[in-house]
Amino acid sequence: MANDGIGASVLRKEDRRFITGQGRFTGDIDLPRQLHAIFVRSPHAHANIKSVDLSEARGMPGVVAIHTGEELAAGGIKNLICGWMIHSKDGSPMRMGPYPPLAIGKVRFVGQPVFAVVAESIDQAEDAAGAVKIDYEVLPAVTAPAEALRPGAPAVHDFAPDNSAWEHSKPSPNLIFDWSLGDVAATDKAFAAAKHVVKIEVVNNRTVPSAMEARAVVAEYRSGDEHFTLWNTTQNPHLLRVVLSAFINVAPEHKLRVVAPDVGGGFGSKIFTYSEEVVCLWSAKATGRPVKWTSGRYEAFLSDAHGRDHVTTAEMAFDANHKMLGLRVDTIANIGAYMSLFSSLIPTYLYAPLMSGQYAIPAISVNVRAVYTNTVPVDAVRGAGRPEATYVLERLIETAARDLGVDRADLRRRNFVRNFPYQTPVLWKYDSGDYDGLLDKVLTAAKWSEFPARKAESMKRGKLRGIGLSCYIEACGVAPSSATGGALGCGVGMWEMAEIKINPVGTVEVLVGTLGHGQGHETTYAQIAADRFGISVDSVAVIEGDTDKVQQGMGSYGSRTAGNGTSAVSRALDRVEAKTRRIAAHLLEASEKDITIANGEFTVAGTNRKVTLTDVALAAYTFHKLPKDIEPGLDEKAYYDPTELTYPAGAFVCEVEVDPATGVTDILQFTAIDDFGNIINPMIVEGQVHGGIMHGIGQALLEEARYDTGSGQLITGSYMDYCMPRADNLPKVLTLGFQKTPSPNNPLGVKGCGEAGAIGAPPAIINAITDAIGNNDLSMPATPEKVWMALQRASTKMAAE
């Protein structure tokens, strides 16, 4: 039998239905008597709702209902939640403004849903939505994070005085929390003793998630048993069910089924609870008919949570030998108009603890101020905090190498962590790694030492060639709430659940609470089960995404599937394997310790006596063939609750060529060496790295969500204005490599891989471009216009000198 187990590049099982057009997505689901919902969204970034006239819209053909925020609130529907409580440095809790599913009295960003029109057809719903009359009192808006803190900035939310220390300190009305991590006194002492101090200011540009499949909802209510079913493009159906039932009060949990069919990508944007899910469920009960909503791409720009949007000042202290002594970081994080489900976690516990990077920095102090603005809410997008931290740190180190006049690779190497486990000054404890090995491999693969010759060749053609380096580390698995200071406010941990069923004919079912949306879960999990029994992956079925089939789960995000999901599967396999051994030993009249498993067979060691997995499975369900101390069936469940995270790491080199006449940048070669511990399917992992790097290229060169500072209108509201990476933006040469230092923190020794490229790529690219143009004053995205202008500034500066 071909090797289908761990370590094999098995072709993805799920791709057969996708490439033959047989995938089944939420948009493909149509139910009898189905209605269609269209959301009337605010055209203003900040406004009071003075009056509303729904009479004409309600009387239009096909209209069944028009739902309002007041109606939902009167029916017991509560506000959308943020799942993590963050406390400011003074101990005061974050200020969370109420986030109703439909606006009540005021709108706070362009695109906020105000009414839901439900009609017999999409066209009829759209016509009626156009007839809704709303009189707005337009208010001043604020869109930039730093501007939100300025005196006199428009207040996004109206918080009543609470007589707390927070209120007495009179913070900006838009300040959500003022949070810190690290040791301020130790950091100040390190800077006081420093021989060199390097400082930078960086902007981490706001991005729009762009999954291939836009969000969609189909909601059904059965009055006979008062039961709801929600088909939805979500990354975590079980957590969505918990939030909808326990916190938003849509329905009791046992009366709500959430189904995620095939999901066409997510990148984090499909983790959260959105207004449309709540309203469609409400409408299904109110109308007595199924209700469907499918987002258009323009609507997605205005309703899907955005990512990033930080403004940061960072400085690093060095001694005379260029050893890092301390790091000080101050960040203003834009949360948008409302706090989304994970929003408070992203700029705090997923950001600040990564500031140590791959380096032994004795003292670190990070301060984060989160602010409201009149923009789309900001939450997790691929990497979620880790790209922001890596960009700050790696741009700072590259700048330091230039300012100090030292080799940038040597500066990094001089300060690498080498002893594991390593406790950083900012919470996390790294599990394993070999950062010197990663750097050696990437410099060799990228032919770093030969770069001067390539640069000279480019100069002959009138082009500017640059090379950039980035060394990243990330934390994967989102371990228990205790790891985030007990901050998990919605009462759920970061465990994962899996169940293994072996059917009477010997086929295997893996039921797991994660949710694949492009990563290849069906293949990866099947390989783990196939490896355990030496069978083909075609004999294994993987079931995810249905809360009626899979008992519990925590979904897929934060690269948690590799460590948590596979560990739960491995633990459940341990239990079912132990039982198969007992049954096989009974059938073969041998000792359990003498049973070996290979190629789907159980053999008595040293003999030719054997039974197949099918024989064992059939015996498990043929009760009279079992000893009295063995229960019938082969069905085992396990939970895996990680006590620690895993810490993938890597080293990237990017080489670019810039046309000084136009500012156009071409990525000539990109080299990535990653450490993901043990790898289950190298082909799938390579695909994840490819996608992550392309995601990083998009942020570094092309993507930026921009708002008009006066009106708060999203200027980049479509792909006509928001530039996504295309095939011609790919590196001319893309070289990947892997180094293996298994994680001791899970049974399979694996580390997450899905976000690595998006974390390490942006600083490598910007470091390369700034190296080429000789000007460090360049912000993402490095568009041709920005690069050309940076070249002019550099030229002017040289002329002045």
| DSSP string across 529-543 | HHHHHT--GGGEEEE
Q: Which two tokens stand for residue 108?
A: 């706070």
Q: State the average pLDDT for the chain.
A: 94
**What would the mean pLDDT of 781-797 be, rounded to a whole number?**
91
Using DSSP bridges, classify how beta strands 324-336 and 363-372 pair: parallel, antiparallel or unpaired: parallel
Residue pLDDT, tens place only, 215-265: 999 999 999 999 999 999 999 999 999 999 999 999 999 999 999 999 999
Q: Is 733 helix (H, G, I), strand (E, B) or coil?
A: strand
- Indicate whether 487 pLDDT > 50: no
pLDDT at position 89: 95
Note the pLDDT of residue 743: 95
Tell me the β-bridge partners of 316: 198, 327
Return the closest-CA partner of residue 26 out of 271, 258, 304: 258
* Higher pLDDT pick, 737 / 555: 737
Whole-number pLDDT of residue 477: 82
| Cα 467 to Cα 199: distance, rounded to the nearest angstrom | 22
Classified as helix, coil or strand, 334 is: strand
Q: Is the pLDDT of residue 127 over 90?
A: yes
Q: State yes or no: pLDDT of 300 exceeds 90.
A: yes
pLDDT at 481: 44
Report the largest interatomic distance among the alpha carbons of the chain, rounded to a whole angstrom. Answer: 94
Least confident of 172-181, 347-356, 550-559, 689-698: 550-559
**Alpha carbon distance 309, 767 (integer Å):** 20
Can you tell me the mean pLDDT for 5-16?
94
Is 479 a residue whose pLDDT tops 60? no
pLDDT digits (tens, 9 = 90+) for 561-607: 888 999 999 999 999 999 999 999 999 999 999 999 999 999 999 99
Residue type, 223: S
Q: Percentage of the chain surpassing pLDDT 90?
A: 92
pLDDT tens digits for range 657-668 = 999 999 999 999
Which comes out higher in pLDDT, residue 493 or 648? 648
Mean pLDDT of the 90-99 span: 95
- For CA atoms 577, 578, 583, 587, the dihedral sign is positive
- Which helix (H) or strand (E) is 218 found in, with range? strand 216-222
Report how far residue 146's alpha carbon sits from residue 370's, in angstroms, rounded to the nearest whole number: 10
> For every residue of 456-480, which 3-state class applies, written as one string?
HHHHHCCCEEEEEEEEEECCECCCC
Tens of pLDDT along 598-642?
Answer: 999 999 999 999 999 999 999 999 877 788 889 999 999 999 998
Q: 471 and 412 in contact (C-beta within 8 Å)? A: yes
- Cα(14)–Cα(221) distance, integer angstroms: 31
280 pLDDT more than 70: yes
Question: What is the reported pLDDT for 492?
Answer: 38
Rg of the chain taking only CA atoms, in angstroms = 28
Q: Mean pLDDT over residues 509-527, rounded?
A: 96
Distance CA 181, CA 484 (A): 11
DSSP bridge partners of 182: 365
pLDDT tens digit string along 730-777?
A: 999 999 999 999 999 999 999 999 999 999 999 999 999 999 999 999
Q: What is the mean pLDDT of residues 315-335?
A: 98
* Predicted confidence band of residue 558 (pLDDT cuts 50, 70, 90): confident
Q: What is the mean pLDDT of residues 376-387?
A: 96
Q: How confident is the model at residue 798 (pLDDT cuts 50, 70, 90)?
A: low
Residue with tokens 């029109």: 117
State residue 624's pLDDT score. Answer: 76
Residues in the chain: 801
Lowest mean pLDDT segment, chosen from 70-74, 486-490, 582-586: 486-490
**Rounded distance, CA 792 to CA 426, Å?**
40
Residue 18 has pLDDT above 80, yes or no: yes
